[in-house]
Amino acid sequence: MYAIIENGGKQYRVAPGDVVRLEIYQSKEGAQIDPGQLLFLYNDSEYFAGKKIPASARVEATILEKGKDKKVLIFKKKRRKQYRRTRGHRQQMMRVKIGSILL
């Protein structure tokens, strides 16, 4: 059984027991959360997508840790104009463990 969820504009394929990095929530470490909108659900021999997903279907996850992701450098340059800019950014993230996928 696996599901595809959307979190922070990105899509993730998750299965029970997986550990994934998602965008930050206001909850504390160890809290149970619903990680995002459910887009697709596969259960052994049948699948559900779009409006066919049951209203009771959901993904449960537990927050393992919060922190910052790796640094992303943004570099701009215009040749022959002596223009160079470097900026860095570290996105807030959290690691979550997928507990169960309920139908």
- Quick: pLDDT tens for 41-85: 999 889 999 899 999 999 999 999 999 999 999 999 999 999 999
Residue 9 pLDDT: 93
Is 14 domain-assigned?
A: yes
b/e 17-43 (16+ beta carbons within 10 angstroms → b): eeebebeebeeeeeeebebbebebbbe
Supply the range of the domain harboring residue 52. Answer: 2-65+95-102
Question: Does position 103 have pLDDT exceeding 90, yes or no?
Answer: no
Altogether, the residues listed in the chain come to a count of 103
CA–CA separation, 91 vs 74, rounded Å?
Answer: 13
Percent of the chain with pLDDT strictly greater than 70: 100
User: Does any domain span residue 71?
Assistant: no
Structural domain contains residue 37: yes
Give residue 97's pLDDT.
Answer: 97
* pLDDT for the residue numbered 44: 87
The total domain count for the chain is: 1
pLDDT at 27: 87
Per the domain annotation, does 83 fall within a domain?
A: no
